[in-house]
Structure 1
Amino acid sequence: MSKDLLGRHREVLPDWLALYYDEPLEITHGEGRYVWDAEGRRYLDFFGGILTTMTAHALPEVAKAVSEQAGRIVHSSTLYLNRPMIELAERIARLSGIPDARVFFTTSGTEANDTALLLATTYRRSNTVLAMRNSYHGRSFSTVGITGNRGWSPTSLSPLQTLYVHGGVRGRGPFAELGDEEFIAACVADLRDLLGHTRPPAALIAEPVQGVGGFTAPPDGLYAAFREVLHERGILWIADEVQTGWGRTGEHFWGWQAHGRGGPPDIVTFAKGIGNGMSIGGVIARAEIMNCLDSNSISTFGGTQITMAAGLANLTYLLEHDLQGNARRVGGLLIERLRAVGAQVPAVREVRGRGLMIGIELARPGTGEADPEAAAAVLEAARAGGLLIGKGGGHDTSALRIAPPMSLTVAEAEEGAAILEDALRSIQ
């Protein structure tokens, strides 16, 4: 049945629509932290639909909210008052830390970043944007144009002039051998030098932890240091929280808070986990930035009632069950367990991350050279063992990405770590 479905997939869908595994998987249903395939095999899910199933599969509270809202009205557009949209916006504005915050809902992280770029370039009257090397911000024409990861940027054409800054990758590049303070100082000096050679940019857009880039991050405080330089010149800071928001990193509710000296970003974008699988994205900005557009705009599907009902129920569950604290506690145990395993496997170059956002970078032993073949082999071995993980990285996709639902239990973390240990040892 799966082979037949794969053939149909290839007949009608683009060749560039990526599929995992030599024999692609059809997931038919899920519950908690587990999913089942079309053959009835169960898997522990350590990737959550690319960090989207944030709380749990088939969470009853979200399912009930969606069902009840569907029985009333599914959609009316932003041309009419929308109670669930207003209620979710109020909660997100309070949680954002941005003063006088306004919230605009979209259907995806890509669209959220598009909107942030529109706001920043309009507000600053500049089409120049700073982005981080190894970054990823979406698959639209404008977001592909600012993505700093070659594997996910199919064209250099863009409505924007993009300049790339050092600092998103701690363990590689020209500053990798420096200590944290020296690393930050070198990246700030690079930023200052870059700004001395160009017209004033609209904004810097940055992921606090690079997602597609392999869950790599700079030392805490880098973006606060960047912000001081940006603020001197009136340049905005956009925090792309599509993967890091809602407590995923454990220590903080937003990823930017690890770099919080000087206050919140000017603009925050979000998506993925807030909908727990429903299509929700959005932008948060202070009123003067959000209101800078001088023409009409709407969002046909952004903020639709059924997705807002899901978002409200999901956010309520996350806060009432302290899933941020769970990500910190269980994620801390999991990363230490994986570091102990990695120390015994020569192909593991680094185990990094925070909370339930963990990356394992693989390299050819003794060389430090990225090893995408090993990453692909571990991905297959983990699946054979009953575990689903992701992969990424800016160096030939050599990093494994681990991001289970934030309700992960200690027992499930140990189960997944044991499967990963076997998978990693299988490539030696």
Structure 2
Amino acid sequence: MNGTHADLHKRRQAVLPSWLSTYYAEPIEIDHGEGRHVWDAEGNRYLDFFGGILTTMTAHALPEVTAAVSEQAGKILHSSTLYLNRPMIELAEQVAELSGIDDPKVFFTSSGTEATDTALLLATGYRASNQVLALRNSYHGRSFSSVAITGNSGWSPTSLSPVQTFYVHGTRRPGQPLAELSDADLIAACVADLEDVLGQVRDNVACLIAEPIQGVGGFSMPPDGLLGEFKKVLDRHGILWISDEVQTGWGRTGDHFWGWQAHAQDGAKPDMITFAKGLGNGLSIGGVVARAEIMDSVPANSISTFGGSPVTTAGALANLRYALDHDLQGNARRVGAVLRARLDDAAARLPVVGDVRGRGLMLGVELVDAHGRPSPAAATEALEAARRGGVLIGKGGLHGNVLRIAPPLSITEDEATEGAAVLVAAFQEAGRVIA
């Protein structure tokens, strides 16, 4: 490794936890960005196809966000929720209007993990139950309670838990027992599984929490309509539906503004939505939208020191308005189709590509060995090869063999085509290495 990055990596290892992983055999420092590109500290330029884990939603160094943050920082940085906060109220009004939740109220947090904590607090208190339903292969954060409902052992470091979690089937993953079923048959099987689990639970269940597309889980997806069918079962038992939109929200899937809307047949809608990441475009913000009856049910005093801070909400409001004014959801749909077509073409030609899935600008590519088994080694090699080719992507999945592709929603067709060519070459290199 050469000077700048090597030295900084040694300093990091000396003072930060060993379990705080980095990408790449030779980790890089992202120094600055503009639009859909970033530069590392040694001057190398990359197309950013991961956006800091699906967080840079609109663009790097978006002038509208920079101006809003700068203007607010020149007034006051912090006040807490004990005082009126105009940017927080204006952003809450906008989020509530967009949410689709009946009679919505909004609570802001500093992260998606904290949003999960809040949703669990609301649901378990409202239902007087600590029993929670979650999907297998799920991920909901890194706090004690969110780890307890994460159905992916690679991201769950302890079996201790403040809740009792029951995991149900809900996504289609290659190699899964239900994977070869048609969408209709898979929905029926998953609903039957949910009914079976509920039949074995002693007490009332507080909620089901589900990602419409599983992020860390490798962009695994349920068939459209599954969560709506789940909702019919949940309603019979009075169980709340929490849609984890930390990665799927704000138009990233292209077809819908929220991921849950792919399951909204017969008027089905969640009781709560958790959100974070893209709203702030890199600013630390998350939150929950819930029906007022649920949001107002907390029987004790509460505040938030940093949730909904003036600076983060001012920047987030500017970011959200930019996304709406420039129809970035539509761009995700159009350019996402261009990118998906090139990935599908690669899958048809390259044995190392076992599956392409996702929606809009949230696409996953599963890499496999010569026997069709998950290949983490191929994914690691493809990640490295893409970086060498000037494109940054992510990696996840239950076995660590899924490449996660999620550029800022303002990406152009030319940039998508350029990035896709680098990715296909990276797949080819990965195939040669593991052959």
- Work out whether the TM-score is over 0.5: yes
Q: Distance in 1 between matches of 2:141 and 2:190?
A: 25
Q: TM-score, normalised by structure 1?
A: 0.99
> 3-state SS of the aligned residue for 2:430?
coil
1:230 corresponds to: 234
Q: Distance in 1 between matches of 2:22 and 2:92?
A: 34
2:316 corresponds to: 311
- Asked if the contact 1:205/1:237 (under 8 Å) is kept, the reply is yes
Deviations 1:222-266 (CA, angstroms, capped at 9, x unpaired)? 000000000000000000000000000000000000001233200
Deviations 1:93-124 (CA, angstroms, capped at 9, x unpaired)? 00001111000000000000000000000000
Q: Which moved more, 1:174-183 or 1:237-246?
A: 174-183
Q: Distance in 2 between matches of 1:425 and 1:270?
A: 36
Deviations 1:48-91 (CA, angstroms, capped at 9, x unpaired)? 00000000000000000000000001110000000000000000
Q: Distance in 1 between matches of 2:305 and 2:332?
A: 34
TM-superposed CA distance for 1:170, in Å, is 4.2
One-letter identity of the residue aligned with 2:335: V
Q: Does 1:86 align with 2:84?
A: no
Query: Tell me, which stretches of 5 or more residues in structure 2 are unaligned?
Result: none
- Asked if the contact 1:135/1:168 (under 8 Å) is kept, the reply is no
Q: Does 1:69 align with 2:72?
A: yes
Pick aligned residue for 1:8 from 11, 30, 46 = 11
2:153 corresponds to: 150
> 3-state SS of the aligned residue for 2:166?
strand
2:172 corresponds to: 169
> 3-state SS of the aligned residue for 1:29?
strand
> 3-state SS of the aligned residue for 2:219?
coil
> 3-state SS of the aligned residue for 1:224?
helix
- Asked if the contact 2:148/2:159 (under 8 Å) is kept, the reply is yes
Q: TM-score, normalised by structure 2?
A: 0.97
One-letter identity of the residue aligned with 1:311: A
Q: Does 1:251 align with 2:231?
A: no
Deviations 1:312-355 (CA, angstroms, capped at 9, x unpaired)? 10011000000000000000110011110121110111011110
Pick aligned residue for 1:22 from 25, 30, 47 = 25
Q: Distance in 2 between matches of 1:167 and 1:300?
A: 36
Aligned-pair identity in percent equals: 68
Deviations 1:162-219 (CA, angstroms, capped at 9, x unpaired)? 0000012343422111111000000000100110000221000000000000011010
1:281 corresponds to: 286
- Asked if the contact 2:231/2:268 (under 8 Å) is kept, the reply is no
- Asked if the contact 1:98/1:286 (under 8 Å) is kept, the reply is yes
Q: Which moved more, 1:134-143 or 1:194-203?
A: 194-203
> 3-state SS of the aligned residue for 2:74?
helix
One-letter identity of the residue aligned with 2:174: G
What is the number of equivalent residue pairs in this alignment? 426
1:43 corresponds to: 46
Q: Distance in 2 between matches of 1:179 and 1:410?
A: 33
Q: Does 1:341 align with 2:350?
A: no
> 3-state SS of the aligned residue for 1:146?
coil
One-letter identity of the residue aligned with 1:225: E
> 3-state SS of the aligned residue for 1:360?
strand
> 3-state SS of the aligned residue for 1:105?
strand
Q: Does 1:109 align with 2:100?
A: no
1:358 corresponds to: 363
Q: Distance in 2 between matches of 1:60 and 1:125?
A: 46
2:411 corresponds to: 408
Q: Distance in 2 between matches of 1:69 and 1:172?
A: 51
- Asked if the contact 1:249/1:356 (under 8 Å) is kept, the reply is yes
One-letter identity of the residue aligned with 1:203: C
- Asked if the contact 2:171/2:223 (under 8 Å) is kept, the reply is no
Q: Distance in 2 between matches of 1:119 and 1:172?
A: 36
Q: Does 1:183 align with 2:202?
A: no
- Asked if the contact 2:219/2:364 (under 8 Å) is kept, the reply is yes
Q: Distance in 2 between matches of 1:218 and 1:376?
A: 26
1:426 corresponds to: 429
Q: Distance in 2 between matches of 1:238 and 1:408?
A: 30
Q: Distance in 2 between matches of 1:427 and 1:311?
A: 38
TM-superposed CA distance for 1:364, in Å, is 1.2
Moved over 3 A (4+): 169-172
Query: Tell me, which stretches of 5 or more residues in structure 1 are unaligned?
Result: none
Q: Does 1:192 align with 2:195?
A: yes
Q: Distance in 2 between matches of 1:21 and 1:200?
A: 46
- Asked if the contact 1:134/1:169 (under 8 Å) is kept, the reply is no
- Asked if the contact 2:112/2:275 (under 8 Å) is kept, the reply is yes
> 3-state SS of the aligned residue for 2:368?
strand
One-letter identity of the residue aligned with 1:346: P
Pick aligned residue for 1:266 from 261, 268, 271 = 271
- Asked if the contact 1:97/1:264 (under 8 Å) is kept, the reply is yes
> 3-state SS of the aligned residue for 1:278?
coil
1:327 corresponds to: 332
One-letter identity of the residue aligned with 1:318: A
> 3-state SS of the aligned residue for 2:133?
strand
- Asked if the contact 2:379/2:430 (under 8 Å) is kept, the reply is no
One-letter identity of the residue aligned with 2:264: G
- Asked if the contact 2:172/2:178 (under 8 Å) is kept, the reply is no
Q: Distance in 1 between matches of 2:31 and 2:291?
A: 41
Q: Distance in 2 between matches of 1:354 and 1:301?
A: 33
Q: Distance in 2 between matches of 1:415 and 1:72?
A: 42
Q: Distance in 2 between matches of 1:113 and 1:168?
A: 20
